[in-house]
Chain A
Amino acid sequence: MLIFKFTKTGGVAYLSHLDLLRTFTRIFRRAGIRVAFSEGFHPHMKLFFAPPLSVGTESVGEYCVADTAEEPRAFLQKFNACSMPDLQCLACAALEKKINLAAETRAAVYEAEFSGCRVREAAEEILASATYEIEFTAKGKPARKEVRQQIFSLRAEGDRLEMTLACGEPNLRADRLCENIAASYGGELTRLTRTDLLFGPPENLQSFSVFLHPESPR
């Protein structure tokens, strides 16, 4: 088992999860990295991901667990040689036992860039309030959702907003939150990047990257 951290930036951010899976499969085939296959009628590579990104959101902090015997350093090198610039492996480490990324993910960190938006005011007002409702379209229909509890932190800096939001179960889509902020505080969202994924109890959230630095305390 290996855990690796990867990017999904530029055009690759617009690939669906299914497209991404196919792309991974091809990268592994090109790189000659052997990944175990599942049993069953439609065998697929045993790759395990954290909750997928919304299409259009970039990331420099995705994680994947792969069932492979490959040595981490070789894995990273081979992967990057056979992938595109917008989909690169950042770090890789061996795992003693599998981590269920999808089930353990609690929160995600995002960096949003706006143009012409009163970002500081937005952060202050939302954090000061006990409730915050967003509007969005789901399956072609307008919908509303109360999300204040799923906003763990907001920090404004110039045109940027750093956000820690619930991810997994429950989940708050950063793109929807940002579109609501732009609608209420002016301007538009120009870029949205997930920078990390966190696990653990709310009072002690930790980055999955701890698994990439075996020397650091777990």
Chain B
Amino acid sequence: MIPKRILDHVSKPARYLGGEYHTPSMDKPDALKVCLCFPDLYEVGMSNLGLRILYHLLNERPEFAAERCFAPWTDMQAALRENGLPLCSLETGRALKDFEVVGFSVQYELCYTNILMMLELGGIPLLAAERGEAFPPVIAGGPCALNCEPVADFFDLFMIGDGEEALPAVLSCYRETKAAGGSKADFLERAAGISGVYVPAFVRPKYDEGGALTGFDCKFPVEKAVVRDFDKAYFPTDPIVPSMEIVHNRGVVELFRGCSRGCRFCQAGFTYRPIRERSPQTLADQCEKLIRSTGFDEISLNSLSTGDYPGLKELLPKLRALQEKYQVSFALPSLRADSFEGEFADFARKSSLTFAPEAGTQRLRDVINKDITEEDVERCLTQAFSLGYSTVKLYFMLGLPTETEEDLRGIAAIVARARELFFKHRATKKELKISVSVSTFVPKPFTPFQWEAQNTREEVSRKQDLLCDLLRQRGVSLSWSDFETSQLEAVFARGDRKLSGVIAAAYRKGCVFDGWSECFRPGLWAEAFAECGLRPEDYTGARAHDEVFPWDFFDSRVKKSYLAGERDKAFEEKVTRDCRLGCHGCGASARGECEIAGHPRKSVEKSLC
């Protein structure tokens, strides 16, 4: 327990206290003690569905006792250091170093320094090679595990893909190895054979004299873990109910995993394939259990593209019944513009409408395979404005491959058209508010754009200035991501093992919470790169067609040749239609796991609109 004199003087002390409703009992003397760490604040981590699933999945089994630990905010970090106290778990207040296994959920690149901060405060040496038998193995999973080379030196083992089966398998392997008197090295050797497991120590990247990657010495194949029976897969219906406000303070169910759209910039769209769905009945049951067990008054129906869920028509009446019975509301996030229709609109009445056309012209939307037309946007806006909406959020990307000034002007044209439609169809006295959010394109591994360059600082600032001029209109606000942040994200996204040194150096200089603008220190990062003899630009440029990527030894199921084909089509401005209409053979169903591959549909939900 953290002493009162510290808790009384930090911001939001409830972050560090646990004791929430539904916290499982840790009174399991024979269980393997695991700490699941999330390298961001409590409010962010507790909103993460992956962590929620794995935490409860482990705790429902007698052989595991999983606790939680989140990144302490800067005031708490300082207080722990000053008082010589270690970073501890929420449930039993045990220091990280005293667990048998420590696991991290790595959701985004900009949390890497937080991992180091948590390890250090938790009493664990940063480098896996320096830890030996005295310290627990430190493992990681989550989206960033797909290209974890930049943090490879800090971890003993990564889990790639779905964790529902892989994590218990890895932990059981550890238990058994230890019970048989085995060492950490024995465990890693055995665990490396489990589907979805990657042990960095067993893969040696090979470089030529110029420092270019030429290949790998791989002891084991590394492939993504895939849960086959998603409908029956474990899902927590009595999750912890946070007492303090968190980012998404509501219940969540997961409609399906994977996405059939194939937007070419979107990593999740490819890496969560194959596509697997839950049945409407399973979902309705899960919703009802959640409502009764948590008391949440809002349930979110999550997936990468909720409007695509083919069971929506069957599910909605069931949800309506729950809505009436329990006075709850349902949120349908990531509804794409083209799946927005009257029925959803009045069902999930929100104060604002969100669209993500991503690009300003049809040409560029074809390049990125974002299947939204001007008519789609106009139809939905018209409908929304006549329903009384007055606030619209529009999301775009800047710096997409082949982008020209014309495409940026297209963004302004969409905004102008939205204004026009509002004044024509408005059903409210409220003023129109359009917020345009423009993020900088980050080329991500395992996407058709993994070969592309990120725009340079000069290009980005020129384009941002232009947009600023074009969008200086009443009722329109423009926000963008700052260049350094997007650049760092791009460096790590396609980075290699050499970056471990940069991350450690930046952390030593004081970098933490890099994803938080109030903490981000680009000057210190620049120093860290320089000290390691590397430049961010080395990582953000275009990659040669035949280049060996640091992540090439990972089998993410979608074939590299498929991605390359999608890239060619992008430059030909050719779209690839939704694979619910017919499988394109991306490779994700090599073992028959893609539930939609064999069942082409005549139409997708777009026709509803």
Contact = CB atoms under 8 A, between A and B. Distances in A.
A56 B295 contact: no
A19 B245 contact: yes
Given A19-B244, A26-B241, A30-B294, A84 B19 contact: yes
A84 B13 contact: no
B293 interface: yes
Contacts of B5: 188-189
Given A10-B19, A11-B19, A190-B4, A19 B243 contact: yes
B558 to A, nearest CB: 41
Interface residues of A, number: 29
B13 A55 contact: yes
B14 A30 contact: no
A198 B253 CA distance: 46
B20 interface: yes
Interface string B115-150: 000000000000000000000000000000000000
B17 interface: yes
B553 interface: no
Nearest to A189: B4
A83 B244 CA distance: 15
A14 B14 contact: yes
Interface string B229-267: 000000000000101110000000000000000000000
A26 B19 contact: no
A25 interface: yes
B346 interface: no
B295 A14 contact: no
A82 B293 CA distance: 9
B21 interface: yes
Interface string B1-31: 0011101100001100111110100000000
A3 interface: no
B297 interface: yes
Contacts of A15: 14, 243-244
Given A19-B14, A23-B243, A85 B4 contact: no
Given A11-B19, A56-B4, A86-B19, A25 B13 contact: no
B296 interface: yes
B292 interface: yes
A67 interface: no
Contact of A12 (B243, B245, B296, B326): B243
A37 B118 CA distance: 44
Interface string B69-98: 000000000000000000000000000000
Interface in A69-98: 82-86
A213 interface: no
A191 B443 CA distance: 53
Contacts of A189: 4-5
Interface string B171-190: 00000000000000000000
Interface of B: 3-5, 7-8, 13-14, 17-21, 23, 241, 243-245, 291-297, 326
Closest 6 CB pairs of A and B: A11-B17, A26-B295, A11-B19, A29-B295, A30-B295, A14-B13
Given A11-B19, A16-B244, A30-B294, 12 more contacts: A11-B243, A12-B19, A15-B244, A22-B243, A27-B21, A29-B326, A30-B21, A56-B8, A84-B20, A84-B21, A175-B8, A190-B3
18 contacts: A10-B17, A10-B19, A12-B19, A14-B7, A14-B13, A16-B244, A19-B244, A22-B245, A27-B295, A29-B295, A29-B296, A29-B297, A55-B13, A56-B4, A56-B7, A84-B21, A84-B23, A192-B4
Interface of A: 10-12, 14-16, 18-19, 22-23, 25-30, 55-56, 82-86, 175, 188-192
